[in-house]
Every structure is written in structure tokens, then in C-alpha cells.
Structure 1
Amino acid sequence: MNTNFSLLSLVNLAIFTDIFFYGLIVPVLPFALSAQAGVPEDDVQYWVSILLAAYSASLFVGSPISGIYADHTSSRRWPLLLGLLALAGSTFLLAFGNSIGLFVLGRVLQGLSAAVVWSVGCALLVDTMGSSVGVAMGYVNISMSIALLLAPVIGGVVYNKAGYLAVYYVCFGVVGLDIVLRLVMIEKKVARQWIREPETGSSRNNAEKTSPTITPSDEPLGNSAVIPNTQTPETTSIGEAGHRDDHGNASKVDREKHRGRPVLALLKSSRLLAALYGIFVESGILIGFDAVLALFVRRLFGWNSTAVAVLFLALFLPGFIAPLAGWLSDKYGAKWPSFAGFVATIPVLISLRFVTENTIQHKVLLAFLLALAGFTLPFSMTPLMAEISYVIEAKEDESPGIFGTKGVYGLAYGLFNMAFALGGIIGPIWAGYVVESAGWGTLTWNFGLWSASAAVVVFIWGANKPQTPAVDDVPPEST
């Protein structure tokens, strides 16, 4: 349990650092583009959207590479450190850059860092948290919320009081602390040895997570989900016969067909595709608001960066409810919590169109609606993050060994990152274009329709309960 807590804390700190840096410059970026890079005021909205999209494009490209690497290495400390070095490089470029080209390069490096942190970090959490993966993802969302809560406020206040460079001095301090803690991070294979002892025989779920570290000599004692290729035909036929009534020969054929092609096996799951679409929509809405909200209140209310930063408190403070959403998904499945979250978000997004005047009533209305969105959005996102691991477990139950001995959790969360990044590319560009061409009110019902489409997809293809093993824990060869 102590090992679980240590790894959970370290992964959440890594995610906090990544998101903290992302959120630190959101309220500052519109002002910095004019002051540091000399961007004309009329072009600020355009370049804010481009910089957010550059981050997401880099995240999109780097995520599958990071995920595949995470699945084929026993040490996840070093990729996390490489991601942190990329973040340090990004911090340097954004702090001292004086051209739009350097700003774009800094955001690209930041996206690569996020790709490593999320793919490797989420895979490490699934490795160690077992059946509590939903709750673990809830704490990931809390890390995000704390970072997004603190970073804009700190960024805005520091920028106003001490200037642009001081904002990045804060970031360098956080990055330095994270470097030290990642250097002392417990290796994955060591953590598994500690976790396996007290949990031996407790659940097939945890045994599956430990299978990549099993040596060939230990395999007969391992979990039946990992069937060595050296079996004799007779042994294989007995194993398949044990599941003939449930799966027949299709299980073996499917396993052989997709061996070495885990992406294809994963993408054939409608559940996974539904989860990825929901994540895409969630990301597009959140990052889309990042692209336009600061500039919107600056123009409508005349607010400075500090006031903009405080406004983000209303959006991210309710995110502390995320572990409850994760617990509900662990207990009942991802479908209903996520569906309810998307449905509840629709009227909130559309109601934002009524914020149109520089009055105290409209300022209060904006803060109230953002707080409601901050409460509903974690119920959309957290269950879908856990659903990715549920899908893998379900496929392993249907076709034991389909993903081989290495597993695909890193790759699966790389796909999660890609969906999140795609939303991050389309969301800010679409939001910026709609606001500039059709206005704030049009954007709000556009985002409302996005949320409605995600609710429909999750309702049709989501699963009522996570497909956790129950009766079929007996290995095939013993039936």
C-alpha cells in the first residue's frame, strides 16, 4: 500500500508539473505576445490559438511513440526524466524568446513533455493500482485541477507584480523539485515485486499487471492470460477447449491475427473508440475555452491578467469531485457517470451566451456558469480515462494473451493522449475562428452541440459495468 501511495504521488506530481506550466502562461500569453514577441493587438487571438494548437499537435505526434516505448521498457523513470528535460527546454524558450518562432518551438517541446508524462505516467498507475484505477484517475484529475487552479492565479499575479521573467522563475523552481523526485522514483519492476507479495492470488487483475516481469522459468506459475508460445499442440487444445463454449476457436484465431498489432486489436473495440471520442470532445471544449476566455473577459470587462487568473478558479475548483466520479466508474462502469456529465454540461455551455454586458450581474453569472462546468466536466472525463483500462481487461478476458507479455497500457494511454491532443488542435482553432467571425454566443451553442454528440456516443457504445473477471479466474488448463 505504501508503494502504491508513493507511485501515485510521484505520477501525480509529474502530471501536476506538466499542467502547472501549461496553466501558468494561459492568462499571461495574450499580454506576452504583444510585449515580448511584438505581435500586433489585432493578431493576438490568432496567435494564441496557433500556440495552443502547436502544443496539441506535438502531443498528438509524441504520444504513440511514448506509449509504445513505455510498454517495451522495464524502467519508466528515464522516459519521465527525458520528458522533464523537454519541459525545461520549453520553459527556457518561452522565458527568453523574443519572436513568435521561438514561442512556437517552446510550445512544441512542452507538448512532447506532456506526451511522455501522460502516456508513461498513466500506464504506471494502471500497473500498480489494480481494480482502483478509476479512483487513481480521479486523483490525476485532482492534480490537473490543483495545477490549473494555482497556475493561472500565480502566473497572473506574478506577471502583474514582478514582470514576465518572474513567471518562469516560478516554473524553473517547480521543474527542479520534480527532477529530484523523479530521480528517486521507484522502478516499475521493483514496485511490482513489492506489490505482488501481499496481493498474491487476490485477483487476476493484479496478476495480469505483473506478467511482463515474469521470467520464462516462472511462466507455469503465472497468470493464464499470458500463454507461452512454446506450448505443445495438445496443451494448447486443452486450454482452448476450456473456453470453447464462450469463445470457441475464434479466440485463438483472433489472438494470432493481432499478435504484434495491438493497435488494430484495440481500435476494433467500439467501447474504446467511444471513450476516445468523449475525450476528444472534452479536450476541445476545455482548451477551446483556454484560447478565448482570457481575451473575451479582457475585451468585455477590461480585466487584467490577475482578474483573468482568478476567473479560472471558478472553472477548476470543482474538479476535486473527480475521485468520486472515478469511484462510481470502478463500481458501476464508465457509461452512466460520463453520460450524465456530458448531458449536464450542455445547458451550462449554452447558457454562457447570456454573458454579454459589463455589469456585476453578468460577471457573477459567468463565474457561476464556469463553476457549474467545472463540476460537470470531471464526470465526463474521469470515467473515460478509466474506461481505457477496462477495455484492455475485457479484451484479455475474451482472448487471453492477445496483447502478449508486454501489455498495451502505455500504447492505450498514448491513444488517449492523441484523442486529447486532437481536441486540443481543433478546439482552440475552431473557438478562435467562431468568436472572431460569429461571436461569443455562437461559440457557446457550438460547444453545447459537441457535448451532446459525446453524450450520444457514450450512451450507445459505452459499457454499463467494467468488464472485470469474476468466475473465469480459473486457468484454462485446469478446467
Structure 2
Amino acid sequence: MPKINSTLVSEKTKKAALLVVALAVFTDMLIYGLVVPILPKYATSLGASQTAIGFLFSSYAITLFIATPIFGALSDKIGRKGPMLWGLLGLGTATILFAFADSFWLLVVARSLQGLAAAATWTAGLALLADLYPSDERGKIMGIALSGQAAGTLLGPTIGGWLYQLGDYRLPFLVAAGLAFIDGLLRLFLLKDVPHPKSEDSPSPFKVLRNRQLLIITGVIIIGASVPSVLEPTLPLHLQKVLSATPGVIGLLFAVPTLAYGLATPIIGTMSTRIGYIKAIIIGLIMVAIALPLVALPDMLWLQVCALAFLGISMGMVLAPCLPQLADISQKSGINSYGITFALYNTAYSIGMMIGPIASSTIADAFGLTISYMTIAAIVLLYMIFLTITSRSQS
């Protein structure tokens, strides 16, 4: 992949690209989160079990997993702009399909198409930022981009829950389709001056997978992605039972960890550059292992809010340092193919999103919510120990 000389790119162009990527990630996660407070109830009305609902949420990640390597290679070969526009088209189509789905399997198709769209948008967008910004700025820039993710995830459940109560099942998705159209216009106009490098000679994904450091960070991303997806199929029903929460209140509660995540990630991005990405990740894993079981314990609203806020900060501490760490490993290893590198990020993220809902739903069905979250927290601690040992052996 031809490298862009970041010193020759104007600050205006860099900021336009950052804005486009942050908005793209925001829109994707807004529509992703829109369904959280309403989809379990709607799927149940169509005859779906708790395990089936877990599969429904995981179908997004399954498609993301399959499509990400393809779009990673494509974005290296043809440039970043095309895949970002394709992703938007897929997202708009999925949103309309959600609005008119009248069977469980149509919901699965719509959720899967969302994953396909995210594969294009995320891979090309993150690679574009790595193209334009040098290593010493990536921690901060990736943190800002992830704030777009957090803002979308924050507003998605909130908007979805309240629009559902104000109108009907279709209203949230029709509003989201309008937002996707606006986002498409912004991508067209703001990306017109961004450099458009492309290459016919992109490295094989299997070459990237032979890099042990990249694979270790991939494991961290899987864990970081699984944490919010653990909550999606299980926590809404728990909140209904324990706190008698309505869909609107559930949407607001899901906003708490994402708000904390969004506010924390720019700070975490800058801090992780100073203390080292690996050290920041280790601290984040410890925090997640403590925070996740706490989410299942409160029987009072304010305690639930505190537990979810702590979990959101913990997720930011895990994921924010991973993006610049991947880019740095890729650059130092001579790969310099950010499309493939961030395809690895998306692939790992999708694995986490597949594992999380299925694991939490299955364990919760058998042993209850608290045991489910404690089991996942124990796995997080084990990986933290492994990361600590391997990072010391490499230093």
C-alpha cells in the first residue's frame, strides 16, 4: 500500500477525514444500538427464545467477521473512499429492512446486513486515519474516533427506547434511515480532497496473522468487544425484572457506560501514549474483571448507574490503546498495510461480539446472570495474566 506523507497533507484535510470517520462510526453505532432496548421484546413477540435472541445479536458479528478481511484487502487495493460509501448504502438498506421485518429470520438478515456495512466502514475509516496521522498522534486521534463510536452507542439505545414509546416499532428505524442519508451526503462532500492511495500489491492476511504481537493484541480486542455485547441480550430482561424498567429507562441505562466510555477515551488515548499502550491495556483488563460482576448485583437504580459507568471507563481503558498499538506494530514490522491491519481489528471485534451474547445468554439460562458475568470476568483476568507475562518476556 503506498504510504501517504502526512507532512504534505494539510491540517484542514486531516481534520475533515477525522470528522468523516468519527461521524461514520457514530452513525453505524447509533443504528447498531437503536435496537438494544426494543429488539429483545419484539423478537420474543415473534416466538424467539433467550438463546435465539443471543444468536440474533451475534449475527451482526458473524457477518462482520466474514466480510472484514475482504473489505480490508479492497480498501488497500482501491482506496478508502469507495468502501466507506458502500458501507453506508448497506446500512441504509438494513435499517429499512428492520422497520418492515415481520419474522425472526428477517430480523437476522437485517442484523447481518448491518455487520456487512460495518465491515466496510470501520476498516476503511480507521485505515484512513492511520494513513494520515503519524505514530505520535494516533493515540489521541483514535481516541477521538472511538468517541464517535461511544456517542452513537450512547444515543442509539436512548433514541430507540423513547421513539418506540412515542410512536411504534417502525418509527426508530425510519428516523435512523434519514440520519444515514445525511451521513452519506457528508461522506461525499468531506472526503473529496482526501488523498486516495491504492495498490495492486497488498500483503496476504496470513502474513499479518504470523505476527505474534498482533495476535496477542487481537485477543485483547476480542475481550473488549465481548464486554458490551455480553450486556445486550441479558441485561434488558434483568433490568425489567429487578428494577421494573421500561424500554425508555433501559435505553437511558445503556447510555451510562457509553457516555463514560466516550468521555474517557480521548483522555485514555493521550494517557496511554505516555505510559505505554500495553500497561494501559493491563490496567483496563483488571478494571473490566472487577466492573462486570458488579453490573449484575444492584437492586437500586443509582447503584446500577455507578456500576455501568465504571464498566464504560474500563472498556475504554482496554480498547482505546489497541488501535494505535496495532498501527505501531504494523509499521515496525514493515507491513504498512493499514487496511489489512484494521481488518484484523474488525475481525477480532466481531469474534468478541459473536462470543459475548451467546456465552452470556447460555450461561445466564443455565446458572443465572450473576454467575454468567462472574465467569466472563474470570476469563478476562486469566488473559490479563497471560498478557503481563508475554509483554515482560518481549521487553
Q: Name the TM-score, length of structure 1 as normaliser.
A: 0.76
Q: Aligned pair 1:420/2:349, yes or no?
A: yes
Q: 2:289 aligns with which of 317, 328, 346?
A: 346
The aligned residue for residue 339 of structure 2 is 410
For residues 344 and 83 of structure 1, the distance between their equivalents in structure 2, rounded to whole angstroms, comes to 34
Q: Aligned pair 1:275/2:217, yes or no?
A: yes
Give the Å deviation of 1:353. 4.3
Identity of aligned residues (%): 26
Q: 2:318 aligns with which of 369, 380, 388?
A: 380
Give the Å deviation of 1:3. 1.0
The aligned residue for residue 3 of structure 2 is none
The aligned residue for residue 52 of structure 2 is 47
For residues 71 and 237 of structure 2, the distance between their equivalents in structure 1, rounded to whole angstroms, comes to 34
Q: Which amino acid in 2 is paired with 1:80? A: M
Q: Aligned pair 1:191/2:199, yes or no?
A: no
Q: Which amino acid in 2 is paired with 1:47? A: A
For residues 44 and 37 of structure 2, the distance between their equivalents in structure 1, rounded to whole angstroms, comes to 13
Secondary structure of the 2:208 match is helix
Secondary structure of the 2:231 match is helix
Deviation digits for residues 93-126 of structure 1, max 9, x if unmatched? 1100101111111011100001011110100010
Q: Which amino acid in 2 is paired with 1:54? A: S
Aligned residue runs from structure 1 range 80-479, under 5 A: 80-131=84-135, 132-187=137-192, 190-192=193-195, 261-319=203-261, 320-355=263-298, 357=299, 362-396=300-334, 403=335, 407-462=336-391
Q: Does the 8 Å contact 1:95/1:168 carry over to 2?
A: yes
For residues 334 and 68 of structure 1, the distance between their equivalents in structure 2, rounded to whole angstroms, comes to 26
**Gap change, CA 1:109 and 1:260, over 3 Å in 2:** closer
For residues 156 and 185 of structure 2, the distance between their equivalents in structure 1, rounded to whole angstroms, comes to 21
Q: Which amino acid in 2 is paired with 1:314? A: V
Secondary structure of the 1:191 match is coil
Q: Does the 8 Å contact 2:69/2:205 carry over to 1?
A: no
The aligned residue for residue 35 of structure 2 is 25
Q: Does the 8 Å contact 1:334/1:464 carry over to 2?
A: no
Deviation digits for residues 213-262 of structure 1, max 9, x if unmatched? 8xxxxxxxxxxxxxxxxxxxxxxxxxxxxxxxxxxxxxxxxxxxxx9754
The aligned residue for residue 232 of structure 1 is none
Q: Name the TM-score, length of structure 2 as normaliser.
A: 0.91
Q: Does the 8 Å contact 1:334/1:462 carry over to 2?
A: no
Q: Does the 8 Å contact 1:271/1:462 carry over to 2?
A: no
For residues 363 and 439 of structure 1, the distance between their equivalents in structure 2, rounded to whole angstroms, comes to 20
Q: Does the 8 Å contact 2:73/2:202 carry over to 1?
A: no
**Gap change, CA 1:274 and 1:286, over 3 Å in 2:** same
Q: Which amino acid in 1 is paired with 2:210? A: K
Which ranges of structure 1 fall in alignment gaps of 5 or more residues?
194-209, 214-258, 397-402, 468-479
Give the Å deviation of 1:73. 1.2
Asked which structure has the greater CA Rg, the reply is 1
For residues 393 and 328 of structure 2, the distance between their equivalents in structure 1, rounded to whole angstroms, comes to 11
What's the RMSD between the two structures over aligned residues?
Answer: 2.1
Q: Does the 8 Å contact 1:333/1:463 carry over to 2?
A: no
Aligned residue runs from structure 1 range 42-81, under 5 A: 43-74=48-79, 76-81=80-85
